[in-house]
Structure 1
Amino acid sequence: MYRRTWLSLLLLIVMAGVIAGCTASDPGTGALGDQKKSEGTAAQASFPRTIKHFKGETVIKERPVKIAAPYITYVDNLVVLDEIPVAAQGMAMMSTFPNLQKKLEGKSVIDLGKEVSMEKLLASQPDLIIASDDMADKYDQLSQIAPTVIFPYTEDWKGTLQLIAGAIGKEEKAAAFLAEFDRKAKEYKAKLASRSGETVLFAMYGGKEFITFNEERVAAFYKELGLKPVPGSEKGGSLSLETLATMNPDHIFIVNNWAAPIKKGVKDTLKDNAIWNGMKAPKSNHVYYIEDTSVLGPMPLGKMIAIEEVMKAMGNP
């Protein structure tokens, strides 16, 4: 059985109210390392080039023009590389990712649906299909439509961006984006240094519980920006308000709960709650809202938005 997308996992977890790490396993760590090495070699070559991937090797004869992305996370990667896919998964869900949605405004992209329609994929006549390993069982079928590369799911979004860039000849664009991310992260980390001793929690609010995420899922916040996690929150999970109060973080970021949105938001919903009002973050007006759910996924644009949102909220002590 192959893995669901991280967004589907998030939906199941949020609706159940239980997160045990909120991340899929990463069976492709070794393969990813081998692929990075292969892509580094391919980066120096012109087309045709041979790309090693989850299901073997694929020869890409010339630079692809019409690229299909039957995995919503890879749409983000392609947009960062200045490529608009001819067809993509989950276009109807783009309101969940407002920053990515803005990049796609006015662009003609065939919606492959939440569950990828092979008929629509065929009709899009792509030059290249870039899929995740949740479609590995359909590799032969995909390859009959167009040359296909399948990359393993991983939280290593930087590595994935480099793999995709290597497949389509956009290595320099990927390198420039990653350099800009690292530059901003370093700058923001220095500016936030005065708050390095203050605890920060990232969560979704489900109406009754707060849903938190494991370290790998929120590494862009803690590792890149030098923020201090709340002790006991490293593995992620569901927290009652009472448990959250005992942890009592200095800052709380609430990420848009797209699966079960709270109409009034956490601040209005809990404004008369004595436990909530007794906590440090609400008392100091240090509760912030992030609308774009992509900050939690292995999505390059989402990660750039993530560090900018934190800087905007905490950069002026």
Structure 2
Amino acid sequence: MKKIFVTFIALILLVGCSAPKAVTKEKIEITHKLGTTEVETNPEKVFVFDMGIVDIMKTLELNIGGVPVESLPTPLKDVNKEGIVNIGSLFEPDFEKIAEEAPNLIIVSGRSSKHYEQLSEIAPTIYMGSDVSSEGLLASINKNVETFGLIFPDTNFDKATASLETAIKEVHDKAEKSGYNTLFLMANGNEIRAFGPGSRYDHVFTTFGFKSVADNIEESTHGSGLSYELIQSLNPDVIIVMDRGAIVKGDKTAEELMDNAFVKETEAAKNNRIIYVDPQNWYLTEGGIQSILSMSKELNNLFAQ
């Protein structure tokens, strides 16, 4: 009889220990680029319009309820699981579908920010993107992780970016030591444009530590136009090329455009230091943890010789 009683008590204790932990539910205010929004912690259904944020949420193992499915890049395709809601495109939300699904939280960024007010009428909406900090890309990612720490207070994200910071520092130290004069180019169809410090790809020079080949490249979201003769004249030690057309238009032209006599006369070409980086990471998910790790690996190849 005593043995049966002891077993019964043990079962009670076991059941008690395996009871699910209570989830914190409280109203908090999130201040972001477009305003201040009241959000309930630990939202069950989060709709996301930024691929970098999808990357971060995937890395942090946070549940994603809805995304623009057709816009998912290859590294994030597995996010499209059973039950996920297709919420439109990166530029045009499917307002009817979103309202029907009643999300607890909507996250927008640059491409979708013009719809902030309309989306806010459906559900609490906040801005999170790779431009949330003036201190650079890594600071923006850390800020976004901190924001998720507020929204999901029961989870510890303190070491979420540790490997990222290590990878970035490795490239930064090598780039700074090399002193390579660097030119970042974006190919788009039959056009090439340059990006320098202060541009959309400022992180090449700040976060990753490369020295710009010129100080007068126009600070523009869309880059500065330049000729192949100018590329030869600038004579960069490194040329980093991102082919936007390959993902936007399905028309890969970067290597063909760069295959000319002017480019071949540069130190970059002569020393095999022209690299063609993955536009999915550099154009679609540039604010994500895994995408920056991939960028770091690509840039590290410049120093493998």
- Same-fold call, TM cutoff 0.5: yes
Instruction: After TM superposition, give the deviation of residue 105 of structure 1 in Å.
Output: 5.7
RMSD, matched Cα? 2.9
Comparing 282-291 with 72-81, greater Cα deviation is found at: 72-81
The answer to whether residue 284 in structure 2 is matched with residue 305 in structure 1 is no
TM-score of the superposed pair, with normalisation by structure 1: 0.70
CA distance 1:161–1:109, change in 2 (3 Å): same
Cα pair distance change 1:117/1:261, threshold 3 Å: closer
Q: Distance in 2 between matches of 1:223 and 1:108?
A: 40
- In structure 2, the CA distance between the partners of 1:269 and 1:185, relative to structure 1 (3 Å rule), is closer
CA deviation vs aligned residue, 1:178-231 (integer Å, no higher than 9, x gap)? 222212222333344542x11122221235432223424224322223211111
Q: Bigger relative contact order, structure 1 or 2, given CA contacts below 8 A and separation 6+?
A: 1
Q: Which residue of 1 aligns with 2:36?
A: 56
Corresponding residue for 1:138? 118
Distance 2:281 2:190 in 1: 23
The answer as to 2:233 corresponding to 1:246 is yes
Q: Work out which of the residue numbers 87, 92, 108 in structure 2 matches 1:112.
A: 87
Task: Give the match for residue 205 of structure 2.
Answer: 222
Count of aligned pairs: 259
- Residue 202 of structure 1 aligns to a residue in which SS? strand
Identity between Structure 1 and Structure 2 (%): 19
Partners of 1:213 and 1:109 in 2: how far apart?
36
Q: Which ranges of structure 2 fall in alignment gaps of 5 or more residues?
A: 1-22, 134-139
Deviation at 1:310, TM superposition (A): 0.6
Matches within 5 A, 1:204-219: 204-216=186-198, 217-219=200-202
What do residues 38-93 of structure 1 show as CA deviations (whole Å, max 9, x unaligned)? xxxxxxx9531412334434141x5222211144443233223212411113x212
- Distance in structure 2 (CA, Å) of the matches to 1:81 and 1:207: 36
The answer to whether the 8 Å contact 1:221/1:306 transfers is: no
Specify the SS of the correspondent of 1:201: strand
Conserved? CA contact 1:77–1:164, under 8 Å: no
Aligned amino acid, residue 167 of structure 2 = K
Q: Is the 8 A contact 1:200 1:251 kept in 2?
A: yes
Please say if 1:126 is aligned against 2:103.
Answer: yes
Assess if the C-alpha contact under 8 Å between 2:190 and 2:257 holds in 1.
no
Q: Render the CA deviation track for 1:106-125: whole Å, top value 9, x for unaligned.
A: 56432212111122213434
Query: What corresponds to 1:6 in structure 2?
Result: none
Q: Assess if the C-alpha contact under 8 Å between 2:183 and 2:239 holds in 1.
A: yes
What one-letter code is carried by the residue in structure 2 that aligns with 1:224? T
Tell me, in whole angstroms, the C-alpha distance in 2 between the residues paired with 1:84 and 1:292: 26
1:59-208 mapped onto 2 (5 Å cutoff): 59-60=39-40, 62-89=41-68, 91-94=69-72, 97-101=73-77, 103-104=78-79, 106=81, 108-114=83-89, 115-132=92-109, 133-143=113-123, 148-151=124-127, 154=131, 156=133, 157-158=140-141, 159-169=143-153, 172-173=156-157, 175-195=158-178, 197-208=179-190
Is 2:268 the counterpart of 1:281? yes
Counterparts of 1:140 and 1:155 in 2: how far apart (Å)?
19
Matched residue SS, 2:241 = strand
Which residue identity does 2:54 align to in structure 1?
Answer: V
CA contact (8 A) 1:68 1:126 kept: yes
The 8 Å contact of residues 186 and 225 in structure 1, kept in 2 or not, is answered as yes
Structure 2 equivalent of residue 14 of structure 1: none
- Paired amino acid for 1:307: S
Question: Distance in 2 between the 1:86 and 1:291 partners?
Answer: 27
Larger radius of gyration: 2
Give the partner amino acid of 2:225: S
C-alpha distance after superposition, 1:91-141 (max 9, x if no partner): 2122xx33233x526564322121111222134342322334433321442
User: Are the aligned partners of 1:99 and 1:292 in contact in 2 as well (CA < 8 Å)?
Assistant: no
What is the one-letter code of the residue matched to 1:169? P
Following the alignment from structure 1 to structure 2, what is the Cα–Cα distance between the partners of residues 151 and 201?
A: 31
Partner Cα distance (2:255, 2:105) in 1: 46
Q: Distance in 1 between matches of 2:174 and 2:204?
A: 14
Q: Tell me the equivalent position of 2:15.
A: none
Could you report, residue by residue, the CA deviation over 1:157-196 in whole angstroms, capped at 9, with x for unpaired residues?
A: 32233223422337632x322222212222333344542x
